Structure formats: structure tokens, C-alpha cells
Amino acid sequence: MSDETTRMRARAAGIADPDVQLRRLTIGPRRRTEEVLAAAAAVFAERGFHGASTQDIADRLGMRQASLYYYFASKEAALEQVCQRGIERIIGDTEVIAAGPGSVAERLAMVMRRHVEPLADNCASVRAYLHEVRFLPKEARRRIGRLARRYERVVEGLLEQGIASGEVRADLDIEIARDAILGMCNHAAHWPGKEPGGAMAHVAEELIRLVLRGIATERPDVVAG
């Protein structure tokens, strides 16, 4: 089927922007959605929420602005999806890690690696989340906040297990330790290209050393990745 035939059928079906239908058929909806959200994340990370526009996102993709509304209804909705994707990519894996085998030190190290290492390719969504989520409408902030809280509970749970097992200092302030760990991992989004060798794995291992040596009852051996 030719591109023009696809456009004609789309118009006959009442689709206002037939280019959207064409892209869905030739690229695939999941892949195209990822590309659109990646472009939105990059624009928000570079320009900020107020400095960005849906036209900027469309220009980065080389598509018409109207076509974006197949993927999200507004700039606010685009930012919410970017923030949601940035968190959801991490939460599922870390919940599995936390519930799995290994010592608390081993599992916490794996959680931190899962957070930091992918930032080499996916740091824009994290930066957009960290700096721009406050501009979302109240209900959207609450939805994103619930996701963030799930991640916080993963780290809290590991620290609590560590205290109970004697691996972690009994006098540790769990909330401060949780915020410090997540804050360091989030800040790593600013590091791609700066760290020695250009490897986010190096950043992850340095942060793991800092954390494990600070919370342990005894100085642990570094948990190798």
C-alpha cells in the first residue's frame, strides 16, 4: 500500500492528520511513542517547561505539531508522561531486586546500579523530572508523587532489613539515608560525559562505596558489580 493510499484511507476514516496513521503503520506505535517521549524529555531538559513548546518537540521529530496530539493532549500531559516513564523504568526492576536473594548490601548496590547506569542513555527524562515536575497541575504532581513514593519505600525497606539483620547501623536515620542515596543517584544525571572513561558504571560504583561504607556496622568489602 502506498503512502498516499494510506493517507486517503485515513481521511475517509475521519482521521484529521493522516500522517499520524501513516507513521503508526510504518514505524510501529510503541517505538514511535518512545521516540516522541524521548524528544519531549530532551526539549524539557534543555529549555525547561516554560521555555518549551509542543512546536519545539515537533520540530525535533520532524513532524507536524498537530500530529503530537495523538500521543498527548497538552504540554502538561507530555511532561507528566516523561516524568512517569523516567520513574517507571526504575521502579519495577528495583522492587524485584529488593525482594530477591542476597545481602542488604548486595541488593542496595544492585538498586543503585539500576538507577545510575542507564542514565548514560536516558538522563534527559530524569533531569526533566527533577527540575520541571513542580510545574505540573496538582493532580498530575500527586500521581507522579505516588510513583516516587513507591521507589522511596524500596530503599527504606532495604535499610530497615539491614538494621534488623545487623548489617546496617542501628542509629541510622532511615529518612535522611534514603534521601541521601536517592539524591546522589539522581544527581548522577548531570554526569554523562564528565566521569573518567565516560562510563556511568564508574559513577555508580563510587556512589555505592560511599553509601555502603557510611551505613554499615562494619566497613564492608566493596560489592562488585
Take residue 108 and report the three cell numbers written for it. 542496595
Residue with cell 566521569: 195
Q: How high is the pLDDT of residue 194?
A: 63
Q: Which amino acid is at 135?
A: F
Nearest to 182 by CA among 85, 94, 96, 121: 94
pLDDT in tens, the chain (225 residues): 444 543 444 444 343 444 444 444 344 567 788 899 999 999 998 999 999 999 999 999 999 999 888 888 899 999 999 988 878 878 888 999 999 999 999 999 999 999 888 877 777 888 888 888 999 999 999 999 999 999 999 999 999 999 999 999 999 999 999 999 999 998 887 776 665 555 888 889 999 999 999 898 865 555 556
Domain 1-71 and domain 75-225, same fold? Reply is no
pLDDT at 224: 57
Q: How far apart are CA 102 and CA 81, in angstroms?
A: 34
CATH class of 75-225: mainly alpha
CATH of domain 1-71: 1.10.10
The full set of domain ranges for the chain reads 1-71, 75-225
Q: What is the pLDDT of residue 220?
A: 54
- Hey, how many other C-beta atoms are within 10 angstroms of the C-beta on 75? 20
